[in-house]
Amino acid sequence: MEKMYYYRNGDQQIGPVSLDQMRGAVTPDTYVWAEGMANWQTVSQVPELMSQLGLAVQSQPQPQPQMQSSTPSYQQPQYNTNEGGSMPPKPDNHMVLSIITIFICQPLGIIALVMSLQSDSAYKSGNYDGAVKKAQTAKTLSLVGIIGSVVFIVLYILMFVVAAGAGALQSY
Whether 136 and 162 share a structural domain: yes
Rounded to the nearest 10°, the torsion over CA 128, 132, 138, 142 is 150
Tell whether 4 and 82 lie within a shared domain: yes
Whether 61 has a pLDDT exceeding 70, the answer reads no
Q: Is residue 62 part of a domain?
A: no
Same domain, 4 and 31: yes
Are 85 and 99 part of one and the same domain? no
DSSP 3-state assignment of 114?
helix
Q: How far is CA 144 from CA 76, 102, 138, in A?
A: 27, 12, 10
Write out pLDDT tens, residues 68-107.
Answer: 444 444 444 555 444 444 678 888 999 999 999 999 988 9
Q: Are residues 128 and 81 in the same domain?
A: no
Range of the domain at 77: 1-55+73-89
pLDDT tens digits for 2-16? 788 888 887 788 888
d(CA 60, CA 23) in angstroms, rounded, equals 22
Say whether both 117 and 139 belong to one domain: yes
pLDDT at 148 (0 to 100)? 94
Helices (H) and strands (E) in the chain, counts: 5, 4
Q: Which of 114, 126, 137 is nearest to 90 (CA)?
A: 126
**Structurally, how many domains does the chain consist of?**
2
Predicted local confidence at residue 53, as pLDDT: 81
The CATH number covering residue 28 comes to 3.30.1490
Same domain, 78 and 109: no
The answer, yes or no, to whether residue 112 has pLDDT greater than 50, is yes
- Residues found in the chain: 172
Given a cut of 60, whether residue 17 has pLDDT beyond it is yes
Q: Average pLDDT of the chain?
A: 80
**Mind listing the pLDDT tens digit for each residue in 29-58?**
888 888 888 888 888 888 888 888 877 655
Q: Are residues 2 and 80 in the same domain?
A: yes
